[in-house]
């Protein structure tokens, strides 16, 4: 059953008495029907986090009026906040290299309607996946990267992203380290899948690192991209058990399944405004 149009309010602020009551009263005074509500109090940091979904058709005010009216409350409580409209489809740019499994999975979810977003383009430093992307009717941008000088590559990537105006950028095994200027241009919007259970085995060839270390669990991590390599706030993780008989090729094969599911879950949480970031940690209202 279709859930209907909703407005999603997310916020964080210094913790104090009366936040939930004030927000609930604000919505109720405008006829709002709250259909989902979550909150978390971080006692260690004195921070409060909240997410509420409201049926749009229950409100007596428009979206713009709702946003304007909430401003004074946000200022009073020192809130970092936003209200999003589920009727506005988010724009998601996918960035890939040669490995196809994460791209195939996301395109399949998009084609079936499970991933209800606009994909204005796919960007890659190789031509390998052009065929499958264009078969889906999505523009494909091949932006070669010279290992000796990658700046022209990132200059063109920045131009493509500026034209695409994405709400989210997904590094679906893009295999390039984004420079600080690209990260800072899209704060909190770049989602990466790393083929390791971070913070273990940062950087390249993590499955080979895991094999050399003799671990019994391998995993994958969906996280936000920051200038520090593989150190951004973590959205979602999962693991699978391996044993002494498994070789590196087995690690890679098992890992691909985890990578797909972890990326899909993490991206879903992000697109549904279920992730609130504070410092290098996240609160995920799953």
DSSP string, 87-119: TSPPBEEEEE-S--HHHHHHHHHHHHTSS--B-
Interatomic CA distance for residues 126 and 114, integer angstroms: 27
Report how far apart, in Å, the C-alpha atoms of 234 and of each of 9, 120, 238, 266 are: 21, 26, 12, 9
Nearest to 130 by CA among 102, 166, 103: 103
Strands 140-142 and 217-224: unpaired
Interatomic CA distance for residues 10 and 88, integer angstroms: 16
Region for 12 from its dihedrals, namely left if φ exceeds 0, alpha if ψ lies in -120 to 50, beta otherwise = beta
Residues 6+ away with beta carbon under 8 Å from 243: 216
Region for 15 from its dihedrals, namely left if φ exceeds 0, alpha if ψ lies in -120 to 50, beta otherwise = beta
Q: What is the DSSP letter of 146?
A: B
DSSP string, 150-173: -HHHHHHHHHHHHHH--SEEEESS
Catalytic residue among 85, 230, 243, 257: 230
Nearest to 97 by CA among 168, 192, 199: 192
Interatomic CA distance for residues 79 and 50, integer angstroms: 10
13, 77 Cβ separation under 8 angstroms: yes
Annotated catalytic residue 29: no
Residues with catalytic annotation? 230
């Amino acid at each position: 059953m279709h859930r209907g149009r909703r407005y999603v309010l997310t916020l964080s602020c210094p913790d104090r008495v009366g936040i939930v009551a004030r927000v609930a009263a604000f919505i109720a005074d405008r006829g709002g029907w709250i259909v989902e509500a979550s909150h978390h109090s971080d006692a260690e940091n004195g921070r409060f986090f909240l997410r509420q979904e409201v049926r749009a058709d229950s409100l007596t005010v428009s979206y713009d009026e709702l946003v304007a009216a909430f401003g004074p409350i946000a200022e009073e409580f020192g809130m970092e906040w936003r209200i999003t409209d589920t009727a506005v489809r988010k724009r998601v740019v996918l960035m890939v290299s040669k490995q196809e499994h994460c791209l195939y999975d996301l395109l399949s979810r998009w084609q079936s309607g499970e991933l209800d977003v606009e994909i204005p383009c796919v960007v890659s430093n190789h031509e390998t996946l052009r065929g499958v992307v264009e078969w889906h009717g999505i523009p494909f941008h091949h932006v070669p990267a010279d290992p000796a000088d990658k700046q022209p590559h990132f200059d063109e990537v920045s131009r493509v992203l500026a034209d695409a105006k994405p709400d989210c950028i997904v590094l679906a095994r893009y295999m390039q380290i984004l420079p600080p200027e690209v990260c800072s241009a899209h704060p909190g919007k770049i989602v990466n899948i790393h083929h390791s259970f971070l913070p273990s085995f940062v950087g390249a060839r993590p499955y080979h690192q895991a094999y050399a270390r003799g671990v019994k669990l391998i995993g994958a991590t969906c996280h936000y991209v920051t200038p520090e390599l593989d150190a951004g706030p973590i959205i979602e993780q999962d693991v699978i058990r391996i044993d002494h008989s498994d070789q590196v090729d087995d690690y890679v094969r098992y890992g691909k399944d985890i990578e797909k599911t972890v990326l899909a879950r993490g991206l879903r949480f992000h697109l549904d405004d279920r992730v609130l970031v504070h410092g290098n940690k996240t609160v995920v209202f799953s």
